[in-house]
Amino acid sequence: MDLLKALAIGAMFGVGIFQMLRRNVIRSTIGLIIISNAVNLFLMSTGAYQGAVAAYVNATGQRSDALPQALVLTAIVISMAGFSLVLALLYMLSTRYQTADSDEIAELRN
């Protein structure tokens, strides 16, 4: 299970990085979203296998660690807000420059 998860995280990172290096700004944003989900998975796996019973439930057995779950929830909420903002910026860019090619959106380069 550990190996499977590690492989999944690695694969997501790889796909994300590959997409991020594309010239199309929309693809690179999607790449960023994939990487961010890979990191969320990594955060969750930091405490995933410690205990089988949900935290704060009156049951016998080893309780699971609630902190990684709280972290992931917060990270998901924040990244949701962040990505909606990125998409809004992308919309602004694409209407202003009429292109999604990052090489053509380069007014500031000189």
| Residue 48 near other proteins by CB under 8 A | no
Q: Which amino acid is at 33?
A: I
Q: How far is the CB of 57 from other proteins (least distance, A)?
A: 18
| Residue 92 near other proteins by CB under 8 A | yes
Q: Could you tell me if 54 and 62 are in contact, meaning their C-beta atoms sit under 8 angstroms apart? A: no
Q: Concatenated DSSP letters for the chain?
A: -HHHHHHHHHHHHHHHHHHHTSSBHHHHHHHHHHHHHHHHHHHHHTSTTS-SBPTT---SSPBPPHHHHHHHHHHHHHHHHHHHHHHHHHHHHHHHHS--BTTT--GGG-
| Residue 105 near other proteins by CB under 8 A | yes
| Residue 12 near other proteins by CB under 8 A | no
| Residue 108 near other proteins by CB under 8 A | yes
Q: Which is nearer to other proteins, 7 or 91 (CB)?
A: 91
| Residue 43 near other proteins by CB under 8 A | yes
Chain contacts with other proteins (rule: CB under 8 A): 25, 28-29, 32, 35-36, 39-40, 42-43, 46-47, 67-68, 71, 74-75, 78-79, 81-83, 85-86, 89-90, 92-93, 96-97, 105-108
